[in-house]
Amino acid sequence: MGTHVVRRQLPQPSEVFELVQFKRPEVNLKKRRLDAALTIYDLRRIAKRRTPRAAFDYTDGAAEAELSMRRSREAFEDIEWHPDILTPARHIDASTTILGGPSALPFGIAPTGFTRLMHTEGEVAGATAAGLAGIPFSLSTLGTTSIEDVKAANPHGRNWFQLYVMRDREVSYNLVHRAAAAGFDTLMFTVDAPVAGYRIRDVRNGFSIPPALTLRTVVDAIPRPWWWIDFLTTPKLEFASLSATGGTVGELLNSAMDPTISYDDLRIVRDMWPGKIVVKGVQTVGDAVKLVDLGVDGVVLSNHGGRQLDRAPVPFHLLPQVVREVGQHATIMVDTGIMNGADIVAAVALGAKFTLVGRAYLYGLMAGGQEGVERTIAILRTEIHRTMALLGVSTLDELQPRHVTQLSRTTPRATSAILASHGD
C-alpha cells in the first residue's frame, strides 16, 4: 500500500488574512462589559462586582436557609426536552396576548422593591426598557419611583401595579386609585407577604433604607466608588407608598404589611379597580380554584422568589395541576427561579400563559442601568427563540406538555397536604 504525502507550501498571506478577521475594539466600557455577558449568570457576576454587598445580597438572597429559592431554580434545571424533528421553525414568533393586551415576549418585568438602591436609574430604567421591548412592566408598592413617573417613563407601554394591603387601608386604596388614573391596566393583589420574611443576609449586612454607614459599609464601598457617587449625587431614595423611610427592611415591611388581610380585602379592591386583577403569591391548587371561583382574572403561582416562607411550594411544580384545574377559566402565570429563556419556554409548554422575571432583571440593572436591563431582555429573547427553534415550534401556541418532562430531586413521601389543599 502506497503512502500519500501531504504537499507542503509556504504560508500564503492572502489565505491567512481570509482566516483572521480583526474585530474593531469597543471603546464604550459599559457596552463592552454588557456585550460580554452571554447569560443571566454573567450579568449576575458583573452586578456582584459593581454593587455594594448589602444591596447585592438584598437582590440575590432569600429567606432563612434559602431552600425555596434553590429548589425553585432546580425545578427549571431538572427538565427534559422532547423536540419535534423534521418540523422546520423558520420564523419564530414569541409574542402573546396577556390579560387583554399584547406582549412581544412571554414574560414581563416583575415588581421589585427598593429598586433605586440597586442602581439609581431604578424603575425608570426597567419601565423604559420594557416599553422598548414591548413587554409589561410591574411597579411594586415598595417601589422607589412614583406611579406617575413610571407612566412618564413608559407612556405607551403596558404598566402593571403590585399592591400590598397595608395596615392603613386608605393608603392602599389611594394607590389603587392613582394607578387606575395613570392608566395601569393590571393590578397584582399580593397575598404571600402578611409579614416580612426572615432574610438572614439582610440582617447580617444591617441592610436598611437609607444605607447605614458602618465601618463594614465603608470598606465594602472602597472598590465601588461609582455606586456611591451615583447614590450621593441623585435624588434622595424614597418610597412612593411609605411616609417614613428610616429603619431596617424588616421594620419597614412589617409597618406596611398586615397579617389580617383577607378575602374581604380582595373583594373591596376588586370592586374599586377598573382593569384586570390577578392574585400574586398563590401556592396551592385549592387556593387557585377558590380565587378563580371568586372571579379574579388570573393567578400568579409564586413563592415570592423564596423570600418569604422558606420551604414553600415550588411554583413550577404546581403549574401542571393548577392549569388542569382552572386553566380554562383564568390566566395562569408563574414566577420564581427563572434565569434562562428556556425556563420560560418550559413554563409555557406546561400551560402558563405568562411569566415574570425579577432577579434576572435586577442583575441587569445593577450591571448597567437601562442598558443592562435591555441586555437581560435580549439574552432571554435569544434563549427563547433558540429553544423554540430547537424544539421545532414556531409559535407559543405550538408548545405542548409533551415537549417537556419535569424531573424532580424532591419527591414527596406523602401527598396528604396536596390532596387536602385540592379538596378546599
How much is the pLDDT for 5?
80
In a domain, 22, yes or no: no
How much is the pLDDT for 416?
47
**How far does Cα 324 stand from its chain's mean position?**
24
In a domain, 12, yes or no: no
Q: Of 168 and 265, which is predicted with more confidence?
A: 265
Indicate which residues carry an active-site annotation: 304
How much is the pLDDT for 25?
76
How much is the pLDDT for 226?
80
Q: What percent of the chain has pLDDT over 70?
A: 88
Q: What percent of the chain has pLDDT over 90?
A: 69
How much is the pLDDT for 368?
96
Q: How far is CA 126 from CA 109, 134, 337, in A?
A: 7, 12, 19
Whether residue 245 has pLDDT greater than 60 = no
Whether residue 337 has pLDDT greater than 50 = yes
Alpha helices in 225-356 (DSSP H): 225-232, 249-256, 263-272, 285-293, 315-326, 341-349
Q: What is the CATH number of the domain that holds 131?
A: 3.20.20.70
Q: How far is CA 354 from CA 48, 68, 135, 143, in A?
A: 29, 21, 11, 22
Q: Of 202 and 385, which is predicted with more confidence?
A: 385
In a domain, 144, yes or no: yes
Q: What is the pTM of this model?
A: 0.91
In a domain, 372, yes or no: yes
Stretch 316-343: mean pLDDT:
97
How much is the pLDDT for 230?
84
In a domain, 135, yes or no: yes
How much is the pLDDT for 408?
80
How much is the pLDDT for 419?
46
How much is the pLDDT for 260?
92
**What residues have CB less than 8 Å from 147, skipping those under 6 apart?**
139, 161, 175, 178, 179, 182, 184, 240
- Per the listing, cell 465601588 goes with 224
* SS3 call for 298: strand
**How far does Cα 11 stand from its chain's mean position?**
53
In a domain, 355, yes or no: yes
In a domain, 5, yes or no: no
Domain, as residue range, for 164 = 31-422
**How far does Cα 197 stand from its chain's mean position?**
18
Whether residue 253 has pLDDT greater than 80 = no
How much is the pLDDT for 394?
97
How much is the pLDDT for 195?
85
How much is the pLDDT for 37?
96
In a domain, 328, yes or no: yes
Q: How confident is the model at residue 2 (pLDDT cuts 50, 70, 90)?
A: low
How much is the pLDDT for 227?
81
Q: How many domains does the chain have?
A: 1
Q: How confident is the model at residue 233 (pLDDT cuts 50, 70, 90)?
A: confident
What does the mean pLDDT of the chain come to?
89
